[in-house]
């Protein structure tokens, strides 16, 4: 155990009692304290003298608490007030409805407050934030002008001034022990524009300028990204070692025939991705690749070429889709593309039982079926393959990890191609899926028309429904999507059930409508979707159950009610349900917030990757290793996938190269890296490469 890993209790100014408080906010060791991330920085050079704080200004002032008290009002509201003094004068600070602040401040404390200057019986500040710089009677020096100081996540029994004092007492000695953790050479740091680790940690807590904070966070972001990629590279390497892949032999007998028979030319993006896939599949290393592409970019035909390569090599290929109807659509598209090629295509359906199910399974087990398409039926007990060589998983995010891997855990281990029509930014994909190789189809086939998109207000709903009727009069179909199934206390949200009844009696009277939502039995949902696909239903009134898994070329209009209630990527997926035929599509987002940033981005572009990047920027990168899908990430505390995007690729390349050479990180030169990895990932890191 290094001195940085000793319990925090033994640092100056801590002791057993304060150590318990520190442990409650996640600080167990000296190293934990060193990596306690400030939540904001204040520049003392921007502090406004009290005498110059005028009504209407937004100011930051620093001064000593000269008096304090709670003032009751006639309405029962209790206001805590404190008078603070600096060298230029006195000003009152008021915290309406926050009497508990009185317990936190003492007369004589030196505090920093930020807020709006208002006039109420004289000038007063209503602070948005306040920070205790030093305690009354303490020996913490006043903050000199020009100093940048950090504000940390704290607790009631561990206030800001205590945390600051712990850093005053311990930072220099802790920084002195960081040198042994450095694993980058000066040339490597220079190439990546990174500072030393010890300098980064010093500037994180005691920066001479805000620019130095950015440099510190950049270095610590590199460490996070590199260690994450290193962990994923070990997973990837270990999987390859334990069960190598199949080196498929390409004969071109089927691939050339398919290529020559296609009624269209592959896009440059499709051709590029196919080269990646072919190189993977013809090598002895097992393919584990993620194929991203927007709706309509042609992922299915790319997957078919990969499946035929497996068949040419004497193996079978399986394509798993999230719903039976989507599996049938895939099978139909594959049969149409194959034409008269002698390749048996089988569809496995969970809803099919008895002799028909047994006969289909026998064709798969006997090898008569070379291409097998299905939903969860592919991983049911009793399904056996003669020689499964490739697994393709469509809409991979719709399956759990165990479901996705159920087909892949066979011997010999088949290659895996995961497909997603929900684009995520390349930076996020490379971070989330570092153990996968990544291919992106970022080009739509020529002639595919973008879906016309516009926003409308609730007051324009009648006009929008009139447009829907004009599409129906031309023999087309429409989706009307709602955020809720049934009416609730949220009177501002329209519900699918109530609107289905109302529309059938009013604006869409005489039309053929159907209701579809997630609470319906699976067989009823399937029947409705089949009827809609067959044209027996004109208008599908639904929730987001139609987001994926249904392809109806005759559907040309999508109306999304309460669009502000949907995520940006979700809106884009809904838009992708229309415009899939020869006629262009229309998507109308009805919202009470037509000028919102999210709705404006949705209307501005139909590019899925631009949408995904905008969604990431608006919502935040989220705790994408856990359940939360937006907000602050607990896994990456320093890395920002926009600001530090230039670090992701070199982190991935360096991590893979290092693991290829030293998979166990046994070289003494890699000891600091191994120590970082073990500290960050604990037992998860030790599970790999330990014999």
Over residues 565-594, mean pLDDT: 86
- The C-alpha atoms of residue 611 and residue 591 are separated, in whole angstroms, by 18
Over residues 398-425, mean pLDDT: 71
pLDDT confidence tier of residue 319, bands split at 50, 70 and 90 = very high
pLDDT digits (tens, 9 = 90+) for 206-264: 998 888 999 999 999 999 999 989 988 888 787 777 667 899 999 999 999 999 998 88
Q: Cβ contacts of residue 29 below 8 Å, gap of 6+?
A: 4, 5, 6, 7, 8
pLDDT at 626: 42
Instruction: Find the range with the poorest average confidence among 305-309, 486-490, 599-603, 664-668.
Output: 486-490
pLDDT digits (tens, 9 = 90+) for 610-662: 887 787 777 666 544 443 333 334 468 898 888 898 999 999 999 999 999 99
Cα angle value 576/290/664 (rounded, 5°): 155
pLDDT at 634: 43
Check pLDDT > 80 for residue 503: yes
**Per-position DSSP letters for 142-184, written without gaps between them:** PPPTT-EEEE---BTTB-HHHHHHHHHHHHHHHHTT-GGG---
Over its C-alpha atoms, the chain yields an Rg (Å, rounded) of: 31
pLDDT at 633: 40
* pLDDT: which is higher, 512 or 523: 512
Check pLDDT > 80 for residue 371: yes
Check pLDDT > 70 for residue 43: yes
- The C-alpha atoms of residue 594 and residue 564 are separated, in whole angstroms, by 9
pLDDT at 630: 37
Q: How many CB atoms lie within 10 A of CB 604?
A: 12
Q: What are phi and psi of 123, to 5 degrees?
A: -70, 140
Report the share of the chain in percent with pLDDT over 70.
Answer: 88
pLDDT digits (tens, 9 = 90+) for 80-125: 999 999 999 999 999 998 888 888 889 999 888 888 999 988 899 9
Pull the structure tokens for residue 395.
Answer: 């809409």
Q: In what order do the strands lie in the sheet containing 316-320?
A: 345-348, 371-374, 316-320, 388-393, 415-420, 288-293, 437-441
- The C-alpha atoms of residue 460 and residue 240 are separated, in whole angstroms, by 58
Mean of the per-residue pLDDT values for the chain?
Answer: 85
pLDDT confidence tier of residue 1, bands split at 50, 70 and 90 = very low
Burial category of 460 from C-beta neighbours within 10 Å (exposed 0-12, middle 13-18, buried 19 and up): middle
Over residues 144-156, mean pLDDT: 74
Mapping DSSP onto H, E and C, the string for 292-308 reads EECCCCCHHHHHHHHHH
pTM: 0.72
Check pLDDT > 80 for residue 572: yes
Residue 278: how many CA atoms within 13 Å on its side-chain side? 17
* pLDDT: which is higher, 583 or 571: 571
Q: Are 144 and 137 in contact (CB under 8 A)?
A: no
Q: What are phi and psi of 613, to 5 degrees?
A: -65, -40
pLDDT confidence tier of residue 432, bands split at 50, 70 and 90 = low
Q: Which residues pair with 530 in a beta bridge?
A: none
Check pLDDT > 90 for residue 73: no
Q: Are 524 and 530 in contact (CB under 8 A)?
A: no
pLDDT at 140: 52
pLDDT at 223: 96
- The C-alpha atoms of residue 580 and residue 558 are separated, in whole angstroms, by 12
pLDDT digits (tens, 9 = 90+) for 268-279: 999 999 999 999
pLDDT confidence tier of residue 203, bands split at 50, 70 and 90 = very high
pLDDT at 691: 24
């Amino acid at each position: 155990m290094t001195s940085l890993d000793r319990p925090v209790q033994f640092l100056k100014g801590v002791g057993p009692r304060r150590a318990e408080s520190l442990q409650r906010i996640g600080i167990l060791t000296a190293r934990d304290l060193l990596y306690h991330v400030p939540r904001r920085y204040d520049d003392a050079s921007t502090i406004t003298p009290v005498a110059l704080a005028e009504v209407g200004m937004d100011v930051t002032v620093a001064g000593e608490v000269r008096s304090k008290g709670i003032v009751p009002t006639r309405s029962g509201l209790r206001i805590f007030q404190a008078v603070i003094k600096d060298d230029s004068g006195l000003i009152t600070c008021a915290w309406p409805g926050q009497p508990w602040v009185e317990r936190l401040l003492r007369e004589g404390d030196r505090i920093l407050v930020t807020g709006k200057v208002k006039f109420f019986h004289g000038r007063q500040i209503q602070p948005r934030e306040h920070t205790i710089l030093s305690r009354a009677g303490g020996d913490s020096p006043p903050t000199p002008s020009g100093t940048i100081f950090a504000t940390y996540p704290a607790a009631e029994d561990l206030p800001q001034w205590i945390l600051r004092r712990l850093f005053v007492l311990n930072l220099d000695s802790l920084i002195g022990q960081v040198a042994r953790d450095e694993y980058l050479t000066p040339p490597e740091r220079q190439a990546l524009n990174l500072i030393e680790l010890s300098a980064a940690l010093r500037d994180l807590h005691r920066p001479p300028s805000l620019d130095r904070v950015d440099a510190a966070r950049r270095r610590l972001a590199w460490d996070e990204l590199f260690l994450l990629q290193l962990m994923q590279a070990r997973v990837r390497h270990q999987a390859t070692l334990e069960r190598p892949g199949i080196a498929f032999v390409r004969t071109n007998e089927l691939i050339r025939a398919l290529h020559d028979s296609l009624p269209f030319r592959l896009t440059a993006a499709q051709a590029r991705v196919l080269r990646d896939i072919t190189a993977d599949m013809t090598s002895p290393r097992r393919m584990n690749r993620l194929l991203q592409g927007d709706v309509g970019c042609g992922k299915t035909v790319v997957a078919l070429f990969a499946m035929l390569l497996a068949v040419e090599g004497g193996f079978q290929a399986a394509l798993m889709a999230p719903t039976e109807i989507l599996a049938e659509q895939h099978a139909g598209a594959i049969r149409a593309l194959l034409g008269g090629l002698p390749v048996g295509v089988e569809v496995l359906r969970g809803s099919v039982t008895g002799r028909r199910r047994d006969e289909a399974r026998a064709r798969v087990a006997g090898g008569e079926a070379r291409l097998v398409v299905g939903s969860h039926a592919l991983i049911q007990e009793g399904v056996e393959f003669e020689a499964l060589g490739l697994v393709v998983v469509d809409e991979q995010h719709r399956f759990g990890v165990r479901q996705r891997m159920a087909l892949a855990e066979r011997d010999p281990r088949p290659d895996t191609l995961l497909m997603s029509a929900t684009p995520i930014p390349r930076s996020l994909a490379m971070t989330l899926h570092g153990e996968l190789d990544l291919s992106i189809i970022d080009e739509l086939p020529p002639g595919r028309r973008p879906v016309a998109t516009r926003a409308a207000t609730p007051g324009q709903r009648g006009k929008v429904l009139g447009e829907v009727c004009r599409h129906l009069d031309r023999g087309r179909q429409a989706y009307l999507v709602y955020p809720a199934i049934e009416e609730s206390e949220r009177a501002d949200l329209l519900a699918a059930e109530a609107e289905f009844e109302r529309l059938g009696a009013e604006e869409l009277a005489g039309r053929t409508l159907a209701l579809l939502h997630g609470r319906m039995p699976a067989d009823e949902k399937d029947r409705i979707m089949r009827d809609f696909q067959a044209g027996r239903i004109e208008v599908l009134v639904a929730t987001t159950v139609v987001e994926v898994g249904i392809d109806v070329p005759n559907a040309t209009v999508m109306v999304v009610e309460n669009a502000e209630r949907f995520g940006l990527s979700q809106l884009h997926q809904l838009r992708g349900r229309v415009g899939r035929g020869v006629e262009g599509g229309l998507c109308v987002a009805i919202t009470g917030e037509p000028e919102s940033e999210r709705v404006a981005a949705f209307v501005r572009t139909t590019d899925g990757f631009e949408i995904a990047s905008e969604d990431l920027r608006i919502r935040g990168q989220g705790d994408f290793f856990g359940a939360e899908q937006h907000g602050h990430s607990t896994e990456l505390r320093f890395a920002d996938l926009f600001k530090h995007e230039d670090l992701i690729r070199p982190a991935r390349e360096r991590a893979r190269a290092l693991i290829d050479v030293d998979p166990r990180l046994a070289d003494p030169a890699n000891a600091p890296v191994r120590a970082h990895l073990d500290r960050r990932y604990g037992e998860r890191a030790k599970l790999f490469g330990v014999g």
